[in-house]
Chains A and B, each alone.
Chain A
């Protein structure tokens, strides 16, 4: 966590435009903007870092530079929105990918054709997909997120499942006339389970990455939207908090996939 925070502070502080304000070009507000910048410019890097760390000890993430309100107050209501969006998006994405990949991986011919919708989704930029939703007046952030994740997972799942159908125990199972459901439950899913767990982190990372454009385009008041505004305004305290959240989410996902594996190995 400290590494992430330190990295973020370094990156943001030395990025071009940290001491610039859009309003400086505006004849009317240029002087005000410059005064604010000068105040910010007197802080050294170590001062920023020390203040941030001191704040955390007291559960305080500082004050947002663009909104001039405490970061915790800004982020807290947004975390819930984004977490809910993420959870639903990932769940539906996996559901869709799994339901599509199971039968498609079994088809010998025309597999590419079945995969066509997913290839199209893969090729489509997130923004274009979201705009298509807005124009069609249907679907929303969850759908777009689910489709994005489904498109990526589908590729992995299909290639993971492809071998399984023709593996010896499957052939035997099929020869014995086991029902399809049972085959899937007993043979296929356990067979690819480790790979599925390994993909969990990947999935979370994909979803986190897609969160920003989706929230910005659909105007969802979540962390992604805030993060984008913070990037555009070089809002250091908010960015540090967002990076820490990211690290936390990725860490949890990584741990989950690690844990499952050890369980799997033990069993």
Chain B
């Protein structure tokens, strides 16, 4: 009797709770012809000139009309709003010829006046546009408009790969900056619900037509869901709610590959690198003997030789990565140094190097000449599973040569503070992402005076001869107009880095994407945005 009522009580309660909660967790309904994917956080701004993080950059890419667009497959700038362009022999004068009959999304004409206004706005110091720095001396750049279709940009200094810079400057109607609501790109801003989604609508006056003369873009709009839970993103992709995922992690790639092999693509090595480096800064709050280890070339090379990169690839990335020995990935065919000589994996050679550098083994542990046990910590960021697995593997690899490693995961702001402001760390395992294939974009990583010169930031004068040599070669490649000279300089830098190992390169994670089988016209590329770089030609097949 009593047990009967017990069951009844419980089942009624369970039923009530279940029925009232099932409907939660759904996304907004998709509109016909709309493309949908996720971005990890709210864009900070919709003003194309003020973009300073990746989510805003993606919105600018989808909405902004630019003079030149970099083809993500060929990695070359192609005419976009400009019909043609020329760069003078000294590299200081860029002349654009606009297409005839261009219009903004609101129907008004787009002329050289609008282009000049948009460029000047980006260059003006009060705008604080991050992209302005790429002109080196932005306030000395002048913009002239001889006629309504011609724009002449005069630079004070030669800028290597200046055509790529114009890929990041959206042209807006003169004196009417609109935070993306009036654009000359394929889409315009339509609706923004903070924390939920950004909705873009098709630009009815977009300039491009396909081969049959049909107006582009094909898609009626785009919804970018603000979503940073991967489980949810994968589940929604599998349900057909999302059309694509750019940059899958290896474990989720495998899950999707198992269920729908046709929907995933492994594009091979990306431009990004994963690396380990030691804190070599003299000002670091570390004991002197530790600084001596980290500043010792033999020590760094030995560590590099003791790490089994193939195991990192195989176990940490389940095969979806490529072993790395230099900062330029083989995906970057133009600049990768194919004749690079790098220290090969060898535990015995590592032991010899350490012995030559004054270290000795006692029992299972390594000691330096002063009798200090060699132990240090590797800091890394929390939340990257593959990186965490790499850290554990490296910990084990280094124990083979007697080095004791502790692994500390920190949240990003705390990690950055240690790396950039306090230099209070011993070694760091982190990835650097490269969006631009031209090595000139890595200037502030390699110049010894730069705050982003991670292993020893903001040096007043280069601490070592090889850092001075890197400075010299990097400056050479930034000022020369001759490809052969630049390539030689960059190859030289790659060789110095391989010899000295200030960054111990580990792997290039592969570019892993998922694309709905409904999409037509996607042409995946390694360069960001790799899946939607030709967004105006991407179409979603209607549901049957």
Query: A34 at the A/B interface (Cβ < 8 Å)?
Result: yes
- In the complex with contacts A32-B128, A142-B21, A232-B412, A96-B229 CB distance below 8 A: no
- In the complex with contacts A21-B416, A29-B53, A131-B231, A100-B9 CB distance below 8 A: yes
Q: Contact check, B3 vs A134: say whether CB atoms are below 8 A apart.
A: no
Q: Contact check, A140 vs B21: say whether CB atoms are below 8 A apart.
A: yes
> Residues of B contacting A16 with CB < 8 Å?
410, 413-414, 417-418
From B168, which residue of chain A is reached at the shortest CB distance? A28
A23–B56 CA distance with the chains assembled, in angstroms: 13
Q: Contact check, A20 vs B416: say whether CB atoms are below 8 A apart.
A: yes
Q: Contact check, B229 vs A25: say whether CB atoms are below 8 A apart.
A: no
> Residues of A contacting B420 with CB < 8 Å?
20, 24-25
Query: A240 at the A/B interface (Cβ < 8 Å)?
Result: no
Query: B485 at the A/B interface (Cβ < 8 Å)?
Result: no
A68–B444 CA distance with the chains assembled, in angstroms: 28
Distance (Å) between the CB of A113 and the closest chain B CB? Answer: 12
Q: Contact check, A27 vs B18: say whether CB atoms are below 8 A apart.
A: no
Q: Contact check, B53 vs A17: say whether CB atoms are below 8 A apart.
A: no
Total contacts A-B at CB 8 Å: 174
Query: A201 at the A/B interface (Cβ < 8 Å)?
Result: no
Q: Contact check, B229 vs A216: say whether CB atoms are below 8 A apart.
A: yes
> Residues of A contacting B3 with CB < 8 Å?
103, 107
Distance (Å) between the CB of B394 and the closest chain A CB? Answer: 20
Q: Contact check, B417 vs A33: say whether CB atoms are below 8 A apart.
A: no
Q: Contact check, A96 vs B17: say whether CB atoms are below 8 A apart.
A: yes
A180 in complex: contacting residue of B5, B22, B410, B441, CB < 8 Å: B5
Which residues between 1 and 56 of chain A lie within 8 Å of chain B, taking CB atoms?
Answer: 15-35
Binds A, one of B114-122, B156-164, B427-435, B509-517: B427-435
Which residues between 441 and 455 of chain B lie within 8 Å of chain A, taking CB atoms?
Answer: 441-445, 451-452
A98–B235 CA distance with the chains assembled, in angstroms: 34
A31 in complex: contacting residue of B23, B133, B227, CB < 8 Å: B133
Please report whether the interface of chain A is mostly helix, strand, loop or mixed according to DSSP: helix
Interface size on A, as a range, is 35 or more
> Residues of B contacting A31 with CB < 8 Å?
130, 133
B416 in complex: contacting residue of A24, A98, A102, A138, CB < 8 Å: A24
Q: Contact check, B195 vs A27: say whether CB atoms are below 8 A apart.
A: no
Q: Contact check, A95 vs B17: say whether CB atoms are below 8 A apart.
A: yes
From A147, which residue of chain B is reached at the shortest CB distance? B17
B417 in complex: contacting residue of A20, A23, A218, CB < 8 Å: A20
Q: Contact check, A17 vs B414: say whether CB atoms are below 8 A apart.
A: yes
A83–B271 CA distance with the chains assembled, in angstroms: 45
- In the complex with contacts A25-B432, A103-B2, A142-B24 CB distance below 8 A: yes
From A36, which residue of chain B is reached at the shortest CB distance? B52
Which A residues fall within an 8 A CB radius of B? 15-35, 66-68, 74, 78, 88, 92, 95-96, 98-100, 102-104, 106-107, 131, 133-135, 137-143, 146-147, 180, 216-219, 221, 225-226, 229, 232-234
List 18 additional A-B contacts (Cβ < 8 Å) besides A17-B412, A104-B6, A106-B2.
Answer: A18-B413, A19-B421, A20-B421, A21-B416, A31-B130, A32-B52, A103-B9, A133-B25, A138-B18, A139-B18, A139-B22, A142-B20, A218-B24, A221-B196, A229-B41, A232-B413, A233-B413, A234-B413
